[in-house]
Amino acid sequence: MTNLEQGGRPYISFVRLLTGQQRDGTGRRHVMQPGKRNRRVSSWHVIGAQLAHFRKRAGLTQPALAERLGVGEDTIASMEQGRRALKLDFAIELDELLDTKEALEVAVRKVPREERYKAFAQDFVEYERDAVSLFWYETQLIPGLLQTEAYARLIFSCHYPPLEVEEIENRVTTRLDRQKLLERKPRPLLHFILEESILYSELGDPEVMREQLLHLRRCMDLPFVSIQIMPRKTPKHAGLAGPLVLLETQDHYQLGYAEMHMRSELYDDPAHVSALMQKYGMLRSQALTVEESVRLLDALLAALLGET
């Protein structure tokens, strides 16, 4: 049985060192004053420090461990620094590789629920893959889950600074892989709100956009997908701050996500997620109904296809 499982003194002392908690001669616990060490430490910081310790004890560098696991060196570094959550299946693999007798697996399983979905934006795709429900508001592009291959390739070709051809293809493959969510059982509940201007975009080859709109129309017929269009003429608009995504995890934890230039944010604080949910609720009331949205897209497609 490990020190972690037992809650033994070496592990407890290690936690106190990281959190800045010390005891005086009477046994009372004190928190070190600001300026000395007042950094908020989560379970992921502790688990990451444990991983770094086990790796070094096994005589491995970060690049060597990354190579054995088939991941990038930055992934190992992020986990050891507590900036990235250690997933359960990865913890099990690491325990076997580092011969740590399930120490990391137990640690991950014991992470408190309120810390389980820390705000690590790079993990959003993993949360999306297993989501029970997902609500997505988009202002400029067809959402990634609803994109055709040609449309996705067009979008990535607009990236600046320009991407290499190989990188574009890698990103297209990753995006299409995310769409397996639509084939998953049990089916997730998916809801999208799209700005009407997206439907009239003239990016790239017109044929690419026509095929994309046809695909979007087919998605409207899926029983677990709802799509609403936000009309260009609306007296009030709750989405002026930009796109947002809300999702519900399998254990019914709510998360919010937003992308900006050069950065993205994943929100796990209940107050922040609640504010985003209220915003999304208002957007739904301001958008066209599902039926009106279908009629609008049908009319647009009839006009486009009539031109060919």
What is the secondary structure of the chain as a DSSP string? --HHHHT-HHHHHHHHHHHTEEE-TTS-EEEPPTTTS-----HHHHHHHHHHHHHHHTT--HHHHHHHHTS-HHHHHHHHTTSS---HHHHHHHHHHHT-TTHHHHHHHTS-HHHHT---GGGHHHHHHT-SEEEEEESSS--GGG--HHHHHHHHHT-SSPPPHHHHHHHHHHHHHHGGGGG-SSPPEEEEEEEHHHHT---S-HHHHHHHHHHHHHHHTSTTEEEEEE-S--S--TTTT--EEEEE-TT--EEEEEEETTEEEEE--HHHHHHHHHHHHHHHHHSPPHHHHHHHHHHHHHHHHHT-
Q: What pLDDT score does 10 carry? A: 36
Q: What is the pLDDT along the chain (308 residues), one digit of tens a residue?
A: 333 333 333 333 333 334 344 444 443 433 334 333 344 578 889 999 999 999 999 999 999 999 999 988 888 998 999 878 888 888 999 999 999 999 999 999 998 866 766 555 567 888 898 899 999 999 999 999 999 999 999 999 999 999 999 999 999 999 999 999 999 999 999 999 999 999 999 999 999 999 999 999 999 999 999 999 999 999 999 999 999 999 999 888 899 999 888 888 888 889 999 999 999 999 999 999 999 999 999 999 999 998 65
Q: What pLDDT score does 186 carry? A: 93
Q: What pLDDT score does 295 carry? A: 98
Q: What pLDDT score does 19 carry? A: 39
Q: What pLDDT score does 125 carry? A: 84
